[in-house]
Copies of this chain bind each other. A is one copy, B any other.
Amino acid sequence: VNIEIINTGSELLLGRVLNTHQQWLCRRLADLGYRVNRQTCVADNGPSIETAVRESLGRSPDLVITTGGLGPTSDDITRELIARILGRKLILDQRVKSQIDSYFLARQRVAPPKSEVQAMVPEGALVLPNANGTAPGLAIELNPNPFSPEQKNACLVLLPGPPRELHPMFLDTVVPLLRRQLPLQQAFVCRTLRTTGLGESLVENKIAAPLDSLVKAGLEIGYCARIGEVDVRLAARGANAAEIVKQGEDLVAALLGEIIYGREDETLEAVLVRQLTEQGKTVALAESCTGGITANRLTAVPGASAVFAAGLVTYSNEAKKSILGVKQKTLTAKGAVSEETAREMAEGARKTLETDYALSITGIAGPSGGSAAKPVGTVFIGLASKEGTTVQRQFNNFDRETFKYVTSQQALNLLRLALV
C-alpha cells in the first residue's frame, strides 16, 4: 500500500506554524500497519498545489491525503483546484449546506455568505462529515487514476487543516474507509523497545549481528536516537509476523538487558513513577545544575504526586546549606561540584523530606565555570536510600539544554535501576 500526504499552507512554509499533521497521521497509519511513503508541504497557491497533486498521483499511490485549504477564506483553494484537475463538476450539496447552517445556528451565529463554498462537492465524491467545524472532508475514488492510467484504484482524501477537526474526522471516517478500500494483504506486527544508557551505534553493535537470521526471515529493525535515549523498533508482516517480532524482542531483551527501560510510548519518568507507585516508595530531588528539569519531567506524569515529595533546586551555595544542610566545610574543601557535596545533598533532601529515596545532581552545565580537574560537563549524581548513598560521576559535555536533559535522564535511570 502506497500512501502519500500533502500538507498545504503558506504558514507552514513561512515557519509560523509547526506541522503536526505529518507526525499525527503517520503515527496513526503506522500503528494500523500502513506506511506513508512521502509527505510534501506546499504553499496555498494554485500552481504549487496542482503540481504536488499531479506528481503525487503520477506515482500511482493507493491513497493521497491532503490537509488544509477547505475553509471559506480566499486562500482556501484545495477543493476547487482538485475538482478542476480531475475534471469534475462542483455541485452544491444541500445536506452539507444545511449542516453548515445548523453549525452556526447552534452557536447563535449567522452563517457568513462565503461559507456556502464549503458545501460544494466534486461529482462522485464521498462527504466526510465534520463534527467540529464547517468544512467537510472529501473522499474521491479515482478509477482509473487519470495521472497514472494503468492504475485502476486510487483514492484521494481531502481533510481540513485544524487539528481538532482533522483528528476526529480521520479516526471516525478515514480509518474505516481505509480498512474497507485498502485492506492489508498481510498481518502486521510492530513493537518498540526504549533504551537509555548507550549510544545508537553501540546499541546497533550489540544486536545487529545476532538479529541477522530473523532479518532474513522478514524482521525489520529501526533505530531512533533521541537525546539520552535510543528506540529499537521491530516489525514484520505476514503469517509469521507475531512470532518473528516476538523472537526478535526476546533476543533484543536478552542482549540489551537493563538498558531497556520501557516499551512503546512509555517515558522513563512514567516508568519511574510506576515503579515507585507499585513499590509504595517516595522520592525527593535535590538539583543544582539541572535547574529543575528532573522535577519537571517527573511531575509531567499524572499521579506523580503520590510518590514525589519535593524537588529542591538549590542553585546557590547558600541554598545548598540552608535547605539541604550541606556543610560549609564540604563546599570549601571539595567544592559545590564534588562527590561529597552530591552525597550531602542527597542525604539532606532525604532527611528533610522523609522520603525513601533522594536523588541529587550537581555539576557544571557551562558555557563557563569549568576547570582542568572539573571541566564543563562534569556531573555528580547521588542516590540516597536506607541502604546508604552512592554517587556516580558523569561527563556530559553538551550545550546547556542537552546537558540538562541528558543529566536528568542519567539521574532518573539511576533510580530506575535501583528499583528493578
Contacts and interface: CB of A to CB of B under 8 A. Distances in A.
Interface string A388-405: 000000010111111010
Given A292-B311, A312-B310, A316-B305, A13 B36 contact: yes
A74 interface: yes
A373 to B, nearest CB: 14
Interface in A1-45: 10-20, 22-30, 35-43
B292 A294 contact: yes
A227 B42 CA distance: 22
**What's the number of copies of this chain in the assembled complex?**
2
Contact of A208 (B26, B38, B74, B315): B74
A248 B312 CA distance: 45
Interface in A303-348: 304-305, 308-316, 318-319, 322-323
Interface residues of A, number: 104
A17 B224 contact: yes
A296 B296 contact: yes
Q: Is the interface of A mostly helix, strand, loop or mixed?
A: mixed
Interface of A: 10-20, 22-30, 35-43, 48, 52, 55, 71-75, 106-108, 112, 114-115, 132, 162, 164, 192, 200-202, 204-205, 208, 222-227, 231, 233, 284-285, 287, 290-296, 298-300, 302, 304-305, 308-316, 318-319, 322-323, 352-354, 365, 367-368, 395, 397-402, 404
Q: Which 4 pairs between the two chains have the least Cβ-Cβ distance?
A: A291-B299, A15-B27, A292-B295, A15-B26
